[in-house]
Structure 1
């Protein structure tokens, strides 16, 4: 039994390639089932986002498992296997566990510490569970990874500071106004950066947003997509008299917002402060606007300084999280090793309890006059004797799980007690009762 992670991500393939190897939402379920039916695959979870497509699998062999996963991806997207090999990273064993923990906690994302990936991992796992492509190993490991990521986000500042220019633009507005949910915002431009700024404003609770663009149809399309307002660029002077926040990102060679424009509408302004955020290169907003009272003008360099400082904070938090990962890997390995012990302990307890039941049956035949109360007392005490006798052997069996020769020693343990344990790992479908396993390991 081997753990494998095959990843196509922002380090291994550019966006043009990643777009070609992403499973659509309506195909991810059938993809999980299709991979699950492939030779050597015992369990699998498929993650597919805009930045990565990854296959996590439990396989019976490393090399064949890796090949069949890569062949599956190649066939799914119309590539040769060799082409898929060139754009994939393959992690095995502890490295695969480490990779999953890093991905889930946002340490492997394009934007360090982003939290969206946690929800995407959770959804990928739930879909795989619903399609019965997970089992004993992944039902435990993915829950462990999700819990680890939640704890990492709660106990560090990994996701608290803006590390993208569009997000930093909105954060700067908050530094001036505090809460911005009741503010009016204006976005100049209708490209990707403008849309990201729009999404960050909406995410911060801003509802009164207007988009202007030199091509009116583009402003209209973006506005309708996100249910906000749009105006023609000719309305800009009137809009500046009423808004609180302006974020500009166009490809213009000339200033869009000029000193003269703001001076002319200054007397009409109803609000005290105006935040201008220029994320265009070359700049959209005339630099001398800084001289106007209660106008705060920030450009890309200002934003970059904030982003760089915040990135350092995230990197410090990421280092803290990385230091916790080895302990998580150890915990996972100890749990996996314990899987081999559970059936042995169960078999030992079942044999002991069968002996106790046979003894009670013999007592019933030889002492038919026992009252129900007397029988319960004898049964309780005989079970107590068994539990006391089993306590040390069970403790020794648990300690064998971490032994380098655990398999051989567990076989000897079974021979000594004349028991035969079932297979610890049941691939394909998990039928073992987790609660009873816990009870067995606690020998209570």
Structure 2
């Protein structure tokens, strides 16, 4: 049996492609069961984040395992096979194990050293267990990966001073406005990313925060943590007249902020500068709004410049983490994979 990864990430595809294959939390259970029903797939786990969608599987046939994964992605998301395939990567056995270790240690993240991916991997493992799509072999691999991730953070400074996706967005906000103390922030979404964004804003001195969510109680709960104001989803567009910065991080499957919404808001605000940060996947804000004067829109991929600086500062720590990974690989690969399996090429795509 082989350990195989079929995936797409921020390196292989732009956000416009990635958002088409992402899975919402509500979809994950049924998606896992559907993929596990494939004859070539013995065990499976799906990791879906802002920057990647990866299918981890145990398969007896690498070619059939790859084909099953591609057919599943295309069928589930109603995408043409050829359209998606050119953006996918496929790794197996030793190469797949090393990749997973780098993912959980945040070496493969857009922001090297960010902390969210570790929790996201643990959540993905828990969901696969809950959905009964994971067995002894995949469970062992992921438990080892989690141990590697913990060791990397305990024995290196890889996470020290690292900026998360949400805090990188705040860096951009400061570049546009300078001092953020007198700025009004509208947050759409009350999940973990939204909470991190508010936390980072407060660290920079922001005092006026408005939180909007489809579930008002969730908006109220998040707003109360920071002395902010909670509003209903139907009040978003009224709030746009006064807000300086909007950060959206919902799991909505469509644009919730359109060109028309922002165009009308800009008239009411006398075309004062408006900074929009779209942390959603799929994207929450129509990219067309960037055509409007005094409107600055950044999505996840637009944070690259901030992330590149982060990578340069962490090169030494990256090497330390890679050494931890290689030491663990040396002990584990012989246990998991036979010499014949290790000799296979990196990709079957």
Residue in structure 1 matched with residue 301 of structure 2 by the alignment: none
| Pairing 1:345-424 to 2, within 5 Å after superposition | none
Matched, 1:68 2:79: no
Residue in structure 1 matched with residue 183 of structure 2 by the alignment: 187
Tell me the distance in 2 between the aligned counterparts of 1:6 and 1:148: 21
- Which protein is bigger by CA-based radius of gyration? 1
C-alpha contact (below 8 Å) 1:161/1:310 kept by paired residues: no
| Pairing 1:109-188 to 2, within 5 Å after superposition | 109-163=109-163, 167=167, 185-188=181-184
Q: How far off is 1:161 after superposition?
A: 1.4
Q: How far off is 1:4 after superposition?
A: 0.8
Residue in structure 2 matched with residue 271 of structure 1 by the alignment: none
Aligned length: 264
**Aligned with residue 211 of structure 1, among 208, 212, 220:** 208
**Closer/same/farther in 2, CA of residues 197 and 186 from structure 1, 3 Å limit:** farther
* SS of the residue 1:22 aligns to: coil
**Closer/same/farther in 2, CA of residues 206 and 59 from structure 1, 3 Å limit:** same
Residue in structure 1 matched with residue 256 of structure 2 by the alignment: none
Residue in structure 2 matched with residue 107 of structure 1 by the alignment: 107
Matched, 1:38 2:34: no
Matched, 1:58 2:71: no
C-alpha contact (below 8 Å) 1:125/1:142 kept by paired residues: yes
Q: How far off is 1:97 after superposition?
A: 0.5
Q: How far off is 1:153 after superposition?
A: 1.0
**Closer/same/farther in 2, CA of residues 166 and 253 from structure 1, 3 Å limit:** farther
Tell me the distance in 1 between the aligned counterparts of 2:305 and 2:69: 43
C-alpha contact (below 8 Å) 1:210/1:229 kept by paired residues: no
* SS of the residue 1:140 aligns to: helix
Residue in structure 1 matched with residue 335 of structure 2 by the alignment: 335
Tell me the distance in 1 between the aligned counterparts of 2:65 and 2:325: 25
Of stretches 203-212 and 18-27 in structure 1, the one that deviates more from structure 2 is 203-212
C-alpha contact (below 8 Å) 1:45/1:125 kept by paired residues: yes
Q: How far off is 1:334 after superposition?
A: 2.7
Matched, 1:22 2:22: yes
**Closer/same/farther in 2, CA of residues 329 and 190 from structure 1, 3 Å limit:** same
Tell me the distance in 2 between the aligned counterparts of 1:27 and 1:305: 32
* SS of the residue 1:112 aligns to: coil
Question: Which structure ranks higher in relative contact order (CA pairs < 8 Å, sequence separation ≥ 6)?
Answer: 2
Q: How far off is 1:200 after superposition?
A: 4.5
Tell me the distance in 1 between the aligned counterparts of 2:45 and 2:307: 34
* SS of the residue 2:6 aligns to: strand
**Closer/same/farther in 2, CA of residues 205 and 30 from structure 1, 3 Å limit:** same
Higher fraction of strand: 2
Query: Unmatched 5+ residue regions in structure 2?
Result: 172-179, 231-238, 245-265, 275-293, 295-303, 341-349
Tell me the distance in 2 between the aligned counterparts of 1:24 and 1:307: 25
C-alpha contact (below 8 Å) 1:141/1:332 kept by paired residues: no
> 1:159-215 CA deviation, whole Å, 9 max, x = no partner?
1114469737989xxxxxxxxxxxx954345589xxx89844525876995338xxx
Residue in structure 1 matched with residue 257 of structure 2 by the alignment: none
Tell me the distance in 2 between the aligned counterparts of 1:73 and 1:42: 17
* SS of the residue 2:3 aligns to: strand
Tell me the distance in 2 between the aligned counterparts of 1:235 and 1:142: 43
TM-score, normalised via structure 2 length:
0.62
C-alpha contact (below 8 Å) 2:105/2:152 kept by paired residues: yes
**Closer/same/farther in 2, CA of residues 323 and 129 from structure 1, 3 Å limit:** same
Task: State the superposition RMSD in angstroms.
Answer: 4.3
> 1:396-419 CA deviation, whole Å, 9 max, x = no partner?
xxxxxx888xxxxxxxxxxxxxxx
**Closer/same/farther in 2, CA of residues 253 and 100 from structure 1, 3 Å limit:** same
C-alpha contact (below 8 Å) 1:187/1:198 kept by paired residues: no
Q: How far off is 1:306 after superposition?
A: 10
Tell me the distance in 2 between the aligned counterparts of 1:200 and 1:220: 11
Tell me the distance in 2 between the aligned counterparts of 1:252 and 1:116: 38
Q: How far off is 1:128 after superposition?
A: 0.9
**Closer/same/farther in 2, CA of residues 16 and 191 from structure 1, 3 Å limit:** farther
Query: Unmatched 5+ residue regions in structure 1?
Result: 172-183, 213-218, 237-249, 257-281, 283-303, 338-401, 405-444
* SS of the residue 2:42 aligns to: strand
**Closer/same/farther in 2, CA of residues 157 and 28 from structure 1, 3 Å limit:** same
**Closer/same/farther in 2, CA of residues 80 and 148 from structure 1, 3 Å limit:** same
TM-score, normalised via structure 1 length:
0.50
Q: How far off is 1:49 after superposition?
A: 1.3
